[in-house]
Chain A
């Protein structure tokens, strides 16, 4: 079983739609959680950290469920510019030294 698992998609949604991605992780001792965004042929960029209480950044909401060991990302009012691959990332060390990466979920927002 992979340490971090994501549905690869692709998710095809119209502009303005709400879309949600889930990610599961296998190590119950995992401590830090992130969502990264990667555009085609570009480097990954940190989208947001995921806090235990859940957190929101504009149209993006991240949730963590430690009991079920999953993380979610909700995107509201999708824009064409949201088209990208979204990577779920988990850290098992307390010092952010090494991250475990999911393979990503591909999102295409269509006009």
Chain B
């Protein structure tokens, strides 16, 4: 079964900490995405990557950075965590040819910043 795996299901971090969220996919997909999901705001795209070492800003990149050193791994970094970054973070991947296939999501990381 194809998978997108996120390293942590739940995380609690302190304000000002640097936070790393890891995502690994085993489908050899070119595209990878980081979203956050908040009640009433839906899924909002933070960053995406369509190739190794490539990245593009999504709709809400401020306060975040990403890294894609290997095709299967896409990391989201919160440079200095703040309470307004408390959210559900979802990683997804897709292939170039999968116009009919949509995205495959990881199970999410629920981050609380205190």
A residues neighboring B (CB under 8 Å): 31-32, 34, 36, 42-46, 49, 87, 89, 91, 94-99, 101-104
Chain A residues, Cβ within 8 Å of B31: 96-97
A108 CB to nearest chain B CB (Å): 17
Q: What are 8 A-to-B residue pairs whose CB atoms are below 8 Å?
A: A42-B107, A43-B108, A46-B102, A87-B42, A95-B99, A96-B95, A97-B94, A101-B42
A85 CB to nearest chain B CB (Å): 10
* Residue pair A32, B108 in contact (C-beta under 8 Å): no
* Residue pair A99, B99 in contact (C-beta under 8 Å): no
Main secondary structure of the interface of B (DSSP, over half): loop
Chain A residue at minimal CB-CB distance from B39: A103
Report if B50 contacts A (CB, 8 A): yes
Chain A residues, Cβ within 8 Å of B104: 46
* Residue pair A98, B102 in contact (C-beta under 8 Å): no
B residues neighboring A (CB under 8 Å): 31, 33, 40-43, 45, 48, 50, 90, 94-96, 98-108
* Residue pair A94, B90 in contact (C-beta under 8 Å): no
Among B48, B90, B99, B107, residue most surrounded by chain A Cβ atoms (within 10 Å): B99
Chain A residues, Cβ within 8 Å of B90: 43-44
Chain B residues, Cβ within 8 Å of A44: 43, 90, 103, 105
Among B90, B94, B95, residue most surrounded by chain A Cβ atoms (within 10 Å): B94
| Among candidates A31, A34, A97, A102, residue contacting B42 with C-beta atoms closer than 8 Å | A102
**The 8 nearest A-B residue pairs measured at CB:** A43-B105, A46-B102, A103-B42, A101-B43, A49-B100, A96-B99, A34-B102, A32-B99
